[in-house]
Structure 1
Amino acid sequence: MTSPSRSPFPSSSYGQLAQAESGHWWFRVRNMVVLWALTKKVKPFNSLLEIGCGTGYVLEGISRAWPKIELYGSEYFEEGLEHARKRVPAAQFRQLDATLLDEIDRYDVVGAFDVIEHIEQDETVLRNLARAIRPGGSLVLTVPQHRWLWSQVDEYACHVRRYSRAELVAKVQQAGLQVSYTSSFVSLLVPLMWLSRKRTGKQHDPMSEFNIPRWLNSSLEAVMQFELLLLKTGVRFPVGGSLLLIATKP
């Protein structure tokens, strides 16, 4: 999902993204992190809205884990929704600019997974999401972290920012929510991530992060599975390429 004030993610990329997600270490591991967070850090829920659902890859994983709940997805671009509807036919989808979301006390859980970093008016969106959550419900966010990791990859992805933990916590609290959990992830791979991004030049091929050797893809996923195991034992990483945040509505 992208703010209208930014150059949109190329519509042709949604097809490539839909094909790549299920086999790529990053998307597979992020789904594992999200599902673990929903299982262990959020109280039982009957309805969930994903803002900026893209091709529906995360919602597909959630639907398999909780087949009986009400699932909703919104996306700024119709091109993404075409794939999402096929992936999760039981969910209800709509095209939506998150800055215009006006529902009140509607969902048990609202999730936005690598979405709000694309939106100039992120504080407006967070207020909208907070309003849409039922009292006692939860917000689950993942965002790219650390400004010092900014690179051409972020520019291609139409990111407006990479967050610091303090910035995201403050904005979520200002939206009226109580932050209950935060942790970095993609932490063990930060040195490799930093080196890779510093070597990225102006002629960066945006699909190069998908077109990696199978052995490397498997190796990176194995490292991340070990990292997830540490998260499950209670480790909270202070540094990482991404940040997970969970908040509740009083």
Structure 2
Amino acid sequence: MDRAVFDRMAEIDNEHWWFAARRDIIASLIERQAKLGRRLRILEVGCGTGSNLALLQRYGDVDAIEPDDPARALATSRSGVPVKGGLLPDGVKLEDSAYDLIVLLDVLEHIPDDEATLAALRSKLAPDGRLIVTVPAAPWMWSAHDLAHHHQRRYTAKTLTDVFQAAGFRVRYRSHFNTVLFPLIAAARIAGRLLRREGGDDAIPPRPVNRLLRGLFGAERHLLGRASLPFGVSLALVAEPANR
């Protein structure tokens, strides 16, 4: 991502409705889809400025990777986690069969070779380990926001499933999310295309609006991990190695 995008994330990721509600949803996914009951060994790939690390530390001992130097330094100072540098699939040394849970939270869409990256991570999972990803959905919604964030692609349910299967995974659970606000966000992205707006759309709205949007989006945590939603701005998927 552009340096300015990382800097903006560091300013807003504690309060912005999207980041805050997504953490609630991720917590629900972990609690319903990961094998809890003990402290897990967890890896976050592409932790950015570290806004998810405190959440992950509730469930176990956390390692993290982030290739951007300033973002990595901020993530480390925020969390106390010594975040590693490097790029997957070949640029990071990780222990085989080490992790109970690996998460890529709106990261896979940034990686040019998503299949090779997933294949590399498969061998890092423990025998009963799980991998959780969230990605942007609906390729037709491609906009200046995706360009500003250096996305390589948006996924459909099929293309996301296909790349996991090609990388040697079995899909346990898959669902769209950010469904309640889908019409509003889709309309905003279409309007941005028509008006040729540039840059992302991640400004924090006024506090009452921010609170309302967080409540609407975050309410989906009661369904995610239990039911599958048929459409939405994003996709979540939980997988395990197919040969285990």
Confirm or deny a common fold (TM above 0.5): yes
Tell me which of 82, 98, 101 is aligned to 1:109: 101
Q: Which amino acid aligns with 2:25?
A: V
In the TM superposition, what is the alpha-carbon distance from 1:102 to its structure 2 partner? Answer: 5.0
* Normalised TM-score (structure 2): 0.91
* CA deviation profile, 1:136-179 (whole Å, cap 9, x unmatched): 10101000001111111111111110001111111111211111
Tell me which of 216, 219, 224 is aligned to 2:217: 224
Q: Distance in 1 between matches of 2:75 and 2:120?
A: 23
Q: Distance in 2 between matches of 1:38 and 1:32?
A: 10
In the TM superposition, what is the alpha-carbon distance from 1:13 to its structure 2 partner? Answer: 3.3
Q: Distance in 1 between matches of 2:148 and 2:156?
A: 20
Q: Distance in 1 between matches of 2:88 and 2:231?
A: 29
What's the counterpart of residue 125 of structure 1? Answer: 117
Given that residues 102 and 132 in structure 1 are in contact (C-alpha distance below 8 angstroms), is that contact kept between their aligned partners in structure 2?
no
In the TM superposition, what is the alpha-carbon distance from 1:26 to its structure 2 partner? Answer: 0.6
Q: 1:95 to 1:182 in 2, by over 3 A?
A: same
Q: Distance in 2 between matches of 1:126 and 1:154?
A: 21
Secondary structure of residue in 2 paired with 1:31: helix
What's the counterpart of residue 48 of structure 2? Answer: 54
In structure 1, runs of 5+ residues without a counterpart are: 1-8
What's the counterpart of residue 139 of structure 2? Answer: 147
Pair 1:73 & 2:64 matched: yes
Given that residues 132 and 238 in structure 2 are in contact (C-alpha distance below 8 angstroms), is that contact kept between their aligned partners in structure 1?
yes
Higher relative contact order (CA 8 A, sep 6+): 2
What's the counterpart of residue 24 of structure 2? Answer: 32
In the TM superposition, what is the alpha-carbon distance from 1:209 to its structure 2 partner? Answer: 2.3
**Identical residues among aligned pairs (%):** 29
What's the counterpart of residue 99 of structure 1? Answer: 89
Given that residues 102 and 128 in structure 1 are in contact (C-alpha distance below 8 angstroms), is that contact kept between their aligned partners in structure 2?
no
In structure 2, runs of 5+ residues without a counterpart are: none
In the TM superposition, what is the alpha-carbon distance from 1:82 to its structure 2 partner? Answer: 1.3
* CA deviation profile, 1:7-30 (whole Å, cap 9, x unmatched): xx2224323211200101111111
In the TM superposition, what is the alpha-carbon distance from 1:128 to its structure 2 partner? Answer: 0.9
* CA deviation profile, 1:172-213 (whole Å, cap 9, x unmatched): 11211111111111011111011000111334343x422322
Q: How does 1:158-237 map to 2 (within 5 A)?
A: 158-200=150-192, 201-206=195-200, 208-231=201-224, 234-237=226-229
Q: Distance in 1 between matches of 2:234 and 2:108?
A: 13
Secondary structure of residue in 1 paired with 2:56: helix
Secondary structure of residue in 2 paired with 1:92: coil
Secondary structure of residue in 1 paired with 2:65: strand
Given that residues 182 and 245 in structure 1 are in contact (C-alpha distance below 8 angstroms), is that contact kept between their aligned partners in structure 2?
yes
Q: Which amino acid aligns with 2:174?
A: T
Tell me which of 112, 126, 129 is aligned to 1:134: 126
* Normalised TM-score (structure 1): 0.89
* CA deviation profile, 1:93-120 (whole Å, cap 9, x unmatched): 1111012145321211111000010111
Q: 1:59 to 1:198 in 2, by over 3 A?
A: same
Secondary structure of residue in 2 paired with 1:14: helix
